[in-house]
Amino acid sequence: MPITAVIGGQWGDEGKGKIVDLLCEDMDLVARYQGGANAGHTVNIDGETIILHQVPSGILRPDTACILGHGMVVDPVALSEELDILAQHNISTQGRIQISYAAHIVTPVHKAMDRATGHVIGTTLRGIGPAYADKARRLGVRAVDLRDTPQLREYLLGRLELGVKQGEFEPDELDTVNRELETFLAAADRLVPMLGDSISSLHHAIDTKKNILIEGAQGTLLDIDLGTYPFVTSSHPTSGGIATGLGVPVQQIDRLIGIFKSYTTRVGEGPFPTELNDEAGDRLQTEGAEFGATTGRKRRCGWFDAVAARYSCQINGFSELALTKLDVLDQFDTLQICIAYEINGTQLPGFSAAIHHLNQVSPVYVELPGWKSDTSSLKSAEELPPAARNYIQRLEELLHVPIARVSVGAERNQILTL
């Protein structure tokens, strides 16, 4: 059976949660391979909204098992809260979640460190960068270490001391961190029964021909190597991260679905060539209800950037795309798509040629007519107005990848198959 991966094509929040939930109807197993509680994946079912941060969105399908892979940085406190929220929604998580022994752990020290420096990039303050930094410095704590609470406590006190010595967080954070340690240790204890060898689980699922879905978090342009560094997250949300983050070899993944919003958004700092600081931008923000699912921050909005999106398709190797939030464009008279970047009147050959000076580029736009009609109630792609079809077709031509699904509303059933 095939392995399908769902990956954000832009700067995150493309609607991955919705598409993962949709595809999980047929999945036996869903796995996350990177990131942590910085993610906020929204699923709307019958008017009820659930936001997943670390648990894969497949948990909302009763028969899907979930894996938190070793490429993630797992926050026990946030995960424990998430399990409680799922229970409040009557979703059973018992025996359905496995956390890789080798996943790194976000501790209260990492969150204090993020609070000290995260504002430069506008991080989610979830301790993600510091946890990955400790992993790279080879002084991180891993899920396997949660089994020995006395040793874990000792480790944490040592890490706290190192943090003070190296000035890694503000001195007035010390009391907060000390207080948070007890909550952390209790939450860590709760996770111990969920720990396991996720590589064996995944390969067993592969060998027994199970349907597997891999859920990306964040987005391609936030990749630490391939994104708009330094305004990136600290992991590899691109398809390359799957092999290292889960131990699943690349050739096993036969379906790579790129998720793109019908326009562009970005949360936090960093360059954004098609950003609109005008009425159209405000309109996208309002119509799209563009507020961060994790931090509640207003998302910056702009037109679809086909230069960045083409790069994203190339580096991920997407085999098909899903276009989300088309309904948000319903009432615009005209729409613009960025088809090239210019500097001083000279066109650049593509996104990677521009990535080091994105702040200086001017987008070149093509204008398309809007459709001025409601797409959110449509039941089939045949019903799409011609101008909407034209918009979708133009994107396909620019990206060289077929768009297989178009989402026209937040609800599970608001999806059109092309």
CA distance readout (Å), 22 to 25, 43, 47, 187: 6, 9, 15, 30
Report the partner that residue 218 touches, choosing among ligand IMO, ligand GDP, Mg ion, none (CB closer than 5 to 8 A by kind): ligand IMO
Does 364 sit near ligand IMO (CB under 6 A)?
A: no
Using an 8 Å Cβ cutoff, are 153 and 107 in contact? no
Residue 38 interacts, among Mg ion, ligand IMO, ligand GDP, none and using kind-specific CB cut-offs from 5 to 8 Å, with ligand IMO
Whether residue 230 has a cis bond before it, omega within 30° of 0:
yes
| Candidate residues 3, 22, 41, 234; the one interacting with ligand GDP per rule CB under 6 A | 41
Residue 409 binding target from ligand GDP, ligand IMO, Mg ion, none, CB below 5 to 8 Å by type? ligand GDP
Which is catalytic among the residues 21, 26, 28, 41? 41
Interface of this chain with Mg ion, residues 9 to 28, rule: CB under 5 A = 13
Instruction: Give me 315's structure tokens.
Output: 């580096």
Q: Which of residues 318-357 bind ligand GDP (CB under 6 A)?
A: 324-325, 327-328
Of 29, 191, 293, 301, the one binding ligand GDP by CB under 6 A: 293
Q: Quick one: which of 126, 159, 300, 325 contacts ligand IMO (CB under 6 A)?
A: 126
Buried b (16+ CB within 10 A) or exposed e, 66-75: bbbbbbbbbb
Q: CB 302 → ligand IMO: shortest distance, Å? A: 14
- Residue 8 near ligand IMO by CB under 6 A: yes
Of 44, 124, 198, 233, the one binding ligand GDP (CB under 6 A) is: 44
CA separation for the pair 268, 282 (Å, rounded): 17
Catalytic-residue membership of 13: yes
Task: State whether the Cα torsion 144-42-392-304 is positive or negative.
Answer: negative
Separation of alpha carbons 248 and 30, rounded Å: 13
d(CA 188, CA 258): 34
CB 97 within 8 A of CB 82: no
Between residues 38 and 100, which has the closer beta carbon with respect to ligand IMO?
Answer: 38
Which residues partner with 213 through β-bridges?
4, 30
Query: Is 40 a residue that touches Mg ion (CB under 5 A)?
Result: yes
Q: How many whole angstroms separate alpha carbon 31 and alpha carbon 115?
A: 29
Residue 302 interacting with ligand IMO (CB under 6 A): no
Q: Which residues contact Mg ion (rule: CB under 5 A)? A: 13, 40, 293
Catalytic (active-site) positions: 13, 41
Q: Footprint of ligand GDP on this chain (CB under 6 A)? A: 8, 12-18, 40-42, 44, 293, 324-325, 327-328, 407-410
